């Protein structure tokens, strides 16, 4: 029991964080023309919430699970090709830290 | 919207963190009409932090610690040098740190603390517009003559003011957009960032006080030098709240990319380190969070004022990333100074870059900028001498463990071996040079 917190998956962790998601409105888009040209694809590991994943059908493309976004801004800074169009979620939506 | 429907106040503040709240509070106390726009449902709901250094807040709200939601004061501090499995720690403190004014160092939960501060600002007369995203500034004039006269929020509503204070934090989309539109000067070097990940772990009061050796009115800050992964540049911390501990790790973005590790993996590696693990055993995760931290320091600080605009806090990169990891206090000093400048601009009836430039001049002479200046070489040192925060702490801890390893060998043999192990792999001259550089980190 005691060792549980050392073996949480990211999904377990995000489950503890409170969100209010605008499910039909993504605040993050990637450009499918640009991503295939990106070698390292740092978004796929640099995001603390693993929002960006390689598309299983076409690993050159990126899928975006925007609802997990913690709004830290890391992806905007690490994307080498400026492919990410990132806006703030609408007011009051998105992550809501209870501790912070 | 017609001209007579136009909502106009003296100053609009964007961002309800320590910088924006300090600015708004200061201006409202001086009698200005102020709107503060915050995108979170409440102030603090988007914010992540660690310790609160309270010297500036205490000037604005004397003895704030009697009313604010303080979890614990920092009554003692520990610095741990992390190696692979070895470690060395230094603990220090003072009885004075457990009584007012508590050495001005506190553990807070930012979501609760910022919310409290926003309540104080509201009582002082600030109109809070929470749950509202500021999308762009409204200008009069063109190019070099541009003057900010208001803010357009999501949904296209407009609010007008004589000046706008941008305090939108590290992920400063609005400050970045405005800087382009107004052609503001960047710093001498570009801004660098670290990503901070943090977990809140519920342990319960009893366990916390036992484990960290605390009385119920005491708290502690444990900072870690060295990292769980070789070559990864960053540092971790554990701070004790009342019922929970905050554990965090901040890693430089280039270093994260270079390592190929995700911030979550880095966090897990840090948590599982034998030294760190013991503090957390048996706890329950209450929250996982992440936030950028500007690390460029003194040289990356940009132009802070223009016609109708002032920039404060993390949006201007005012964080000292040395062992102090000081951001909140600098945010408050810049916000307060910007607020004071706005009040004198209002008295003069002049919000031009000349008058608002007094904010930049005054802030650059203040304590925060003097501190940032002292550590101005830190970003470069970390870039060119990454071993300072990875190899050396590891070597140090290994030397101490070697030194105290008890075997049949004589003391002098043991000590000689410890020293030889320490020097192994360290080019001699580089070591001396690096120790000199190391002073710039501490
Ligand atoms: C893990 C971690 C540990 C830290 N540890 C420490 C520490 O120990 N000591 C210390 O002093 N500092 C620490 N810091 C740094 C400190 O948290 C920051 O320096 C401080 O929060 C900066 O205050 P700010 O007001 O400038 O920005 P923030 O607190 O980020 O506030 C900015 C506000 O603006 C809002 N906003 C942004 N854009 C918009 C928009 N367009 N419209 C409306 N609202 C907007 C945001 O929602 C937010 O509320 C730490 C940071 C992190 C991430
Ligand atoms: S880092 Fe940017 S360009 Fe590269 S794959 Fe990710 S989003 Fe696309
Ligand atoms: S803002 Fe942070 S959490 Fe959100 S997608 Fe970007 S890196 Fe991930």
Ordered domains of chain A (ranges, CATH) = 3-90 (3.30.70.20)
Is residue B388 predicted with pLDDT exceeding 70?
Answer: no
Q: Is the CB of A64 under 6 A from ligand 3?
A: no
Q: How far is A81 from chain B (nearest CA, A)?
A: 14
Is residue B122 predicted with pLDDT exceeding 60?
Answer: yes
Q: What is the pLDDT of residues B257-294, one digit of tens each?
A: 999 999 999 999 999 998 999 999 999 999 999 999 99
* H helices present in B228-385, as ranges: 253-259, 263-272, 274-280, 328-348, 353-365, 367-374, 378-384
Q: Is the CB of A48 under 6 A from ligand 2?
A: no
Which residues of chain A fall below pLDDT 50? 1-2
Q: Strand B134-140 relative to strand B147-153: parallel, antiparallel, unpaired? A: antiparallel
Written as six digits, the tokens of B224 are: 């870690």
> Who among B132, B195, B282 is closest to A48 (CB)?
B195
Contact A65, A51 (CB under 8 A): yes
Written as six digits, the tokens of B228 are: 């769980």
- Find the B210 Cα to ligand 2 centroid distance in Å: 47
Fold that domain B193-294 belongs to in CATH: D-Amino Acid Oxidase; Chain A, domain 2 (3.30.9)
Q: How far is A39 from chain B (nearest CA, A)?
A: 12
Q: Is the dihedral of CA B419, B423, B425, B431 positive or negative?
A: positive
Return the residue whose CA atom lies nearest to atom 6 of ligand 3: A75
**Percent of residues in chain B assigned helix, strand, coil, to nearest 5:** 40, 25, 35
DSSP run (H or E) holding B417: helix B411-423
Give chain B positions within 8 Å (CB) of A65.
none
- Distance, in Å, from the CA atom of B87 to the CA atom of B400, rounded to the nearest integer, reads 8
B288 contacts A17? CB cut-off 8 A:
yes
The whole-model pTM stands at: 0.92
Q: What is the pLDDT of residues B4-37, one digit of tens each?
A: 579 999 999 999 999 999 999 999 999 999 999 9
Q: What is the pLDDT of residues A28-45, one digit of tens each?
A: 999 999 999 999 999 999
Q: Is the CB of B134 under 6 A from ligand 1?
A: yes
CATH of domain B3-73+107-189+300-379: 3.50.50.60
> Which 267-306 residues of chain B touch chain A by CB within 8 A?
268, 271-272, 277, 280-292
Instruction: Give residue limits of the domains in chain B.
Output: 3-73+107-189+300-379, 193-294, 386-441
Q: Is B49 on the interface with A (CB under 8 A)?
A: yes
- Distance, in Å, from the CA atom of B306 to the CA atom of B356, rounded to the nearest integer, reads 7
Using alpha carbons, select from B401, B225, B383, B224 the residue that is nearest to residue B296: B383
Pocket test for ligand 1, best of B35, B42, B49, B223 (most atoms within 8 A of CB): B49
What's the mean per-residue pLDDT of chain B? Answer: 91
> Can you give the pLDDT at residue A1?
45
Q: Is the CB of B51 under 6 A from ligand 1?
A: yes
Q: Is the CB of B236 under 6 A from ligand 1?
A: no
- Distance, in Å, from the CA atom of B397 to the CA atom of B291, rounded to the nearest integer, reads 30
Q: What is the pLDDT of residues B155-185, one digit of tens each?
A: 999 999 999 999 999 999 999 999 999 999 9
Q: Is A17 on the interface with B (CB under 8 A)?
A: yes
Q: Is the ipTM of this complex over 0.85?
A: yes
**Dihedral class, residue B155 (left if φ above 0, else alpha if ψ from -120 to 50, else beta):** left
If you measure CA to CA, which chain A residue comes closest to B251? A46
């Amino acid at each position: 029991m005691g060792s549980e917190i050392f073996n949480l998956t990211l999904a377990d962790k995000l489950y503890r964080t409170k969100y209010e998601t605008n499910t039909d409105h993504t605040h993050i888009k990637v450009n499918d023309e640009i991503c295939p040209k990106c070698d390292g694809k740092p978004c796929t590991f640099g995001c603390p919430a693993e929002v960006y994943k390689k598309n299983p059908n076409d690993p050159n493309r990126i899928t975006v699970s925007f609802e997990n976004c913690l709004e830290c801004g890391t992806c905007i800074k690490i994307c080498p090709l400026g492919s990410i169009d990132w806006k703030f979620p609408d007011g009051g939506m998105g992550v809501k830290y209870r501790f912070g | 919207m017609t001209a007579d429907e136009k909502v106009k106040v003296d100053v609009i503040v964007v961002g309800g963190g320590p910088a924006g709240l300090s600015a708004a509070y200061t201006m409202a106390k001086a009698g200005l009409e102020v709107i503060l726009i915050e995108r979170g449902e409440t102030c603090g709901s988007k914010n992540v932090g660690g310790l609160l250094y309270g010297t500036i807040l205490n000037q604005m709200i004397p003895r704030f610690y009697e009313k604010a939601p303080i979890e614990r004061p920092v009554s003692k501090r520990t610095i741990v040098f992390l190696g692979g499995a070895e470690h060395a720690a230094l603990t220090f403190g003072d009885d004075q740190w457990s009584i007012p004014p508590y050495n001005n160092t506190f553990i807070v939960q930012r979501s609760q603390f910022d919310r409290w501060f926003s309540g104080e600002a509201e009582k002082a007369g600030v109109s809070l517009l929470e749950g509202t995203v500021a999308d762009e500034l409204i200008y009069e004039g063109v190019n070099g003559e541009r003057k900010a006269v208001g803010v357009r929020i999501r949904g296209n509503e407009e609010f007008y003011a004589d000046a706008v204070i941008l305090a939108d934090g590290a992920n400063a989309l609005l400050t970045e957009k405005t800087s382009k539109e107004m052609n503001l000067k960047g710093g001498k070097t570009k801004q660098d960032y670290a990503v901070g990940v943090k977990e809140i772990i519920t342990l319960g009061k009893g366990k916390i006080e036992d484990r960290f050796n605390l009385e119920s009115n005491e708290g502690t800050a444990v900072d870690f030098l060295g990292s769980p992964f070789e070559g990864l540049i960053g540092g971790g911390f554990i701070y004790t709240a009342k019922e929970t501990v905050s554990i965090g790790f901040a890693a430089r973005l280039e270093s994260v990319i270079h390592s190929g590790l995700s911030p979550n993996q880095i966090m897990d590696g840090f948590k599982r380190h034998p030294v760190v693990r013991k503090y957390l055993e048996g706890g329950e995760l209450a929250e996982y969070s992440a936030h950028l931290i500007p690390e460029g320091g003194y040289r990356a600080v940009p132009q802070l004022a223009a016609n109708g605009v002032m920039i404060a806090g993390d949006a201007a990169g005012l964080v000292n990333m040395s062992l102090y990891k000081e951001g909140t206090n600098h945010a408050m000093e810049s916000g307060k100074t910007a607020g004071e400048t706005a009040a004198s601009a209002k008295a003069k009836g002049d919000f031009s870059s000349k008058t608002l430039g007094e904010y930049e001049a005054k802030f650059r002479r203040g304590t925060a900028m003097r501190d940032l200046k002292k550590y101005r070489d830190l970003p470069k040192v970390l870039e060119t001498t990454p071993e300072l925060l990875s190899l050396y702490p590891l070597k140090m801890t290994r030397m101490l463990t070697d030194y105290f390893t008890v075997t049949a060998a004589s003391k002098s043999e043991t000590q000689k071996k410890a020293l030889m192990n320490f020097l192994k792999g360290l080019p001699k001259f580089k070591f001396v040079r690096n120790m000199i550089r190391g002073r710039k980190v501490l």
